[in-house]
Amino acid sequence: MAGRIEDYALIGDMQTAALVCRDGTVDWLCLPRFDSPAVFAGLLGTEDHGFWRLGPAHPAGSKPPAATRRRYVGDSLVLESEWDTPRGTVRVIDFMPPRDGAPQVIRIVEGVSGRVPMHSALRMRFSYGQVTPWVHKVGDRTVAVAGPDSVWLDTEVDTYGKDLTTYSDFTVAPGDRIAFTISWEPSHKQPPSLPEPEASLEATLDFWREWVDQCTYHGPYRDAVVRSLITLKALTYGPTGGIVAAPTTSLPEDIGGVRNWDYRFTWLRDAAITLSSLLRTGYRDEARAWREWLLRAVAGDPENLQIMYGIAGERELGETELDWLPGYEGSTPVRVGNGAAHQLQLDVYGEVTEALHLAHMTGLARNDYASLLQLKLIRYLEQHWDEPDEGIWEVRGPRRHFVHSKVMAWVAVDRTVKLIESGEADGPLERWRELRDEIHWDVCEKGYDKERNTFTQSYGSRELDASLLLIPQVGFLPPDDKRVIGTIEAIQRELSTEDGFVLRYPTDGGGEGGENLDGLPGDEGAFLACSFWLADDLAMIGRVDEARRLFEKLLSLRNDLGLLAEEWDPRLQRQVGNFPQAFSHVPLIDTALRLTASGAYGG
């Protein structure tokens, strides 16, 4: 049975990632890319769908023991898990070396004290647990083959097969270091080269040490910021610069419900805000790579801008259901692909333009095509900004005139006006100044409830939406505007949980026929990004102590390794949604920067 979402650690190589549970089980791994079919899909099913457990031996039929403690080695993505057992203490080091060649998961068992019996159980199931591979020996190596894929196991200890699983039983004493490595290679090619676990470990630690040294943030929340930055880097697909929203699919927003989506793609919105955080903490190489990815993905067709693409810029992300998987804690369906890819979400134009603007403002070398793309996006918005859309939250109900979408359309025009004013681009300056004013007037006239002194989710509605918290952050209105303060306070009253965390929007009723406003059954937890946005806004309007308290309460929701999923279920008191989630770690960084600048932090 899979662990709780917060029980997992992330390891990765900037091309794919694995999730390692507290008991030493790898329950999720897609090879060779983030969006490839999983080889270990136990996270969304049972052990029959693939897993790799490595830890102290335990009686058959009993629950594997959880690690006594675990940590990342310094500022890296190298995981150390330790077990204190009646026979001694043992450590397992898990990591994936950044690579140009075959993807590898390396696990090094180290004896610390006593003599500890150890057990490895490796059950590979390709195609999301559906295909049992042919497992056989090639010399001293074990290989599992199915169709186009092969996974090679290398270790110095003896292995044996039983029940379509590869096992190892061995004992470690102090100073012993025994390595296990699995490597993926296309099945029609030559075997991958023999691994060098110890050299790979040193190279991996060096890689992360050098990368973290570039960070320009040195404030009081540095540990949380650096861990979030490392997580964002791990979610970047190195060969193209694309950034996945999360490395998982179908971890539920509502345990046992249907709100289960595939997040292993590059949302323009998520990637753009990730880029902003990386730029503001010193990471220009990632910003440059993402900009190049964007230009390739959008190519010459900005009029048909998608809200998301594959990690190499793929456009077709058809959504299907894997009916052989029972889902995480019975949450079905399990989905791969994402049918929201072709939704109209006008806010994306604003986020992309803001990211390009910030790249320009922070000194990233000029790219003429990036400026040309920005102008093309505004020409499209000029004709379409006043249309209804699906909005930031990808509702599967009818299109509406979402206030946040209009605000971000204003952002797109505003930043482009500034680009032209700076002399870096040519365009119809006066016409677009008028367009900027027109959108601003439209939002303030149609998206604002004067009686309640709050902006609303969409034109003509009474519902609130946490995305309204971004109004002062993007400069649409100043923080001290009474309409901004009124909106913040209304969201605190109507969308906050008892713990003070923020829901995205009301999900109960309100739609045609009484269904939920987002067109989906069920409920969801507090959205962590929105909760960080509230802390940001509170700091902006001068309520800095309250902002700090909320921020530090949010930090306490991270798991023991500093990782966050998409949401927090206040009823179950646990993390829910895909994990780890870029859209949670980005605003953590942003809020830390704002609180540090304001001096709003404890001693």
The band of 514, judged by pLDDT with boundaries at 50, 70 and 90, is: very low
- Spell out a b/e string for 288-307, using b for 16 or more CB atoms within 10 Å of the CB, else e: bbbbebbbebbeeebeebbb
Helix (H, G, I), strand (E, B) or coil at 587: helix
pLDDT score at 521: 58
**For 367-377, how does the pLDDT look when each residue is reduced to its tens digit (9 = 90+)?**
778 888 889 99
Look at residue 430 in the predicted model and tell me its pLDDT.
Answer: 97
Instruction: Read off the tokens for 253.
Output: 């927003």
How many CA within 13 A on the CB side of residue 388?
10
Average pLDDT value for residue range 212-228? 97
The residue type of 256 is G
What would the two tokens of residue 445 be? 């006239």
Q: For residue range 396-434, what is the model confidence (pLDDT) as tens digits?
A: 678 999 999 999 999 999 999 999 998 888 999 999 999
CA–CA distance, 222 with 351 (Å, rounded to integer): 26
Q: pLDDT digit string (tens) for 558-582?
A: 999 999 999 999 999 999 999 999 9
Indicate whether 15 pLDDT > 60.
Answer: yes
Amino acid at 200: S
Say yes or no to pLDDT of 512 above 80. Answer: no
- Where residue 1 falls among pLDDT bands split at 50, 70, 90? confident
What contacts 271, CB < 8 A, 6 or more positions away? 242, 243, 290, 294, 355
Q: Is the pLDDT reported for residue 487 higher than 80?
A: yes
Tell me: pLDDT of 297 over 60: yes
Give 598's pLDDT tier (boundaries 50, 70, 90): confident
Give all strands (DSSP E) within 498-586, no chain letters: 526-527, 567-569, 574-576
The model's confidence at residue 520, banded by pLDDT at 50, 70 and 90, is: low
Locate 194 and state its tokens: 């023999």
Which of the pair, 335 or 505, is modelled with greater confidence? Answer: 335
- CA angle (463, 537, 508) in 5-degree steps: 25
Question: In the chain, pLDDT over 90 holds for what percent of residues?
Answer: 80
pLDDT given for residue 485 in this prediction: 98
State residue 417's pLDDT score. Answer: 96
Per-residue pLDDT tens digits for 62-110: 899 999 999 999 999 999 999 999 999 999 999 999 988 889 999 999 9
- The residues near 442 (Cβ < 8 Å, ≥ 6 apart) are 386, 406
Strand partners, 275: none
Q: Which amino acid is at 485?
A: I
Q: What is the pLDDT of residue 522?
A: 58
Return d(Cα 444, Cα 455) in angstroms, integer.
8
CA angle 101, 103, 105 (to 5 degrees): 140
Average pLDDT on 207-221 reads 97
pLDDT tens digit string along 253-270?
999 999 899 999 999 888
Q: What is the pLDDT of residue 601?
A: 56
Interval 433-462: pLDDT, tens: 999 999 999 999 999 999 999 999 999 999
CB 166 within 8 Å of CB 104: no
pTM score: 0.95
DSSP string, 69-123: EEEESSSSS-EEEEEEETTEEEEEEEE----SSS-EEEEEEEEEEE-EEEEEEEE
Closest residue by Cα to residue 120 from 42, 215, 54, 50: 54
Which of 69-73, 350-354, 599-603 has the least mean pLDDT?
599-603
User: What is the band of 603 on the pLDDT scale with cuts at 50, 70, 90?
Assistant: very low
Output the CA–CA distances (angstroms, integers) from residue 148 to 36, 194, 302, in the order listed. Answer: 12, 20, 35
* Residue 577 and residue 251 in contact, taking contact as beta carbons nearer than 8 Å: yes
Listed residue (488, 429, 436) closest to 464, CA to CA: 488
Q: Is the pLDDT of residue 518 over 60?
A: no
How high is the mean pLDDT of the chain? 93
296-300 average pLDDT score: 79
Let me know: does 564 contact 581? Beta carbons within 8 Å. yes
Average pLDDT over residues 387-392: 94
The set of residues, in sequence order, having a beta carbon less than 8 Å from that of 40 and lying 6+ positions away, is 18, 26, 27, 28, 29, 49, 50, 51, 52, 124, 125
| 415-to-86, 354, 421 alpha-carbon distances in Å | 63, 7, 10
User: Token match 């032209």: residue?
Assistant: 420
Question: Could you write out the DSSP letters of every residue in 428-443?
Answer: -HHHHHHHHHHHHHHH
d(CA 394, CA 80): 38
Which long-range contacts link 476-483 to residues 24+ away (Cβ below 8 Å)? 476/407, 476/410, 476/411, 476/440, 476/443, 479/537, 479/540, 479/541, 480/541, 482/453, 483/444, 483/448, 483/453, 483/454, 483/455
Compute the distance between CA of residue 21 and CA of residue 42 in angstroms, rounded to an integer. Answer: 11
Quick: pLDDT tens for 100-146. Answer: 888 999 999 999 999 999 999 999 999 999 999 999 999 999 999 99
> CA dist 217 to 376, 531, 592, Å?
35, 22, 10
Burial label for 119, CB within 10 Å (0-12, 13-18, 19+), is: middle
SS3 sequence of 14-52: CCCEEEECCCCEEEEEECCCCCCCEEECHHHCCHHHCEE
Instruction: State the pLDDT confidence band at 338, using cuts at 50, 70 and 90.
Output: very high
Sign, CA torsion 200/205/208/209: negative
26-51 per-position pLDDT tens digit: 999 999 999 999 999 999 999 999 99
Q: CA 289 to CA 284: how far, in whole Å?
A: 9
Distance CA 197, CA 201 (A): 6
Mean pLDDT of 238-258: 95
Residue 273, pLDDT > 80, answer yes
Per-residue pLDDT averaged across 322-341, rounded?
95
How is residue 133 written in tokens? 């591979």
pLDDT band for position 394 (cuts 50, 70, 90) = confident
